[in-house]
Amino acid sequence: MTPSPNDRYGRDVLSSDPHAPRRKVVREVGAETDLVVECAISGFCGAVVGFDKGPTGIAVVLEDRKGLRRPFLLRPAGFLLDGETVTLVRPAVAAPSGPTRTASGSIAVAGARARVARESRIWVEGLHDAELVEKVWGHDLRVEGVVVEPLHGADDLLATVTAFRPSKDRRIGVLLDHLVPGSKETRIADEVRRLHSPHVVVLGHPYVDVWQAIRPQVLGIDAWPVVPKGQPWKEGVLAALGRPHSTPADVADGWRWLLGHVRSYADLEPTLLARVEELIDVVTA
């Protein structure tokens, strides 16, 4: 069709309706871990924690502030991000462009096999302490051949150290909770140092439990809850955070939830970082 002299733009007026509403373009957003979105259909709001492959397709898994997790299919225009309708897509995996860092901040040793374990050991006060150290320093420890073992309490530390028979080739680095002046742990540490220095180094952090070594901002709070004296500390913390806390299974689930927020050394308090790094130096010197 030849444009008429009066049609300045040469448009075929029959080809489309100029008054028809324009189709809105919905932005695609990579579903990165910890991105907070809302399902446009159900109204469920939560942070991205992973993906799940179901019979009808790939689903993104969201976790709300109470720890409830639900999967949602990656449908077009299926989510709200800061009030904007978006389409979630799986984030692209970028190829590393240079040396990669471990969770502890050190340079990763690509392709390195775990070294045969040294006779020296790092002992920490409980299973949660060991799991936290493994998550952040695991790569470094395997490269150095360092084994971390939980003590399950500090009361029998002196007897356990004596039975180990430490020497210059069998050093022990110990990390204790609540190592503050006047505490039971401090008295135990002083006795161990008196009898077994320099082959045993006992360090500690000031926190009631290693849970407190996780920076509270990582959990979206300004400070750790204060638990009144006489109440179980872990259960009291979980209660204050609005999580189940009545049974040992609840406490275990609560710890897994906390540990899931730790991605690297940046999520931990500097005091704990310094103590663990020093102990690694002690047993690898």
The confidence score (pLDDT) of residue 92 equals: 76
What pLDDT shows up at residue 67? 79
Q: What is the pLDDT of residues 127-149, one digit of tens each?
A: 999 999 999 999 889 888 999 99
- CATH number belonging to domain 27-89: 2.30.30
pTM score, two decimals?
Answer: 0.63
pLDDT of 174: 97
Q: What pLDDT digit, counting tens, does each position of 70-129 carry?
A: 999 988 989 999 888 999 998 876 555 555 667 766 666 665 555 567 899 999 999 999
DSSP calls for 123-186: EESSHHHHHHHHHHHHHHHHHHT-EEEE-S-STTHHHHHHHH--BTTB-EEEEESS--TTSHHH
Distance separating alpha carbons of residues 127 and 234, to the nearest angstrom: 14
Per-residue model confidence as pLDDT tens digits over 24-52? 688 999 999 888 899 999 989 988 988 88
Domain assignments of the chain as residue spans, ordered by start: 27-89, 121-214+262-284
- pLDDT, tens digit (0-9, with 9 covering 90-100), for 168-201: 999 999 999 989 999 999 999 999 999 999 999 9
CATH of 121-214+262-284, one of 3.30.1390, 3.30.465, 3.40.50, 3.30.2320: 3.40.50
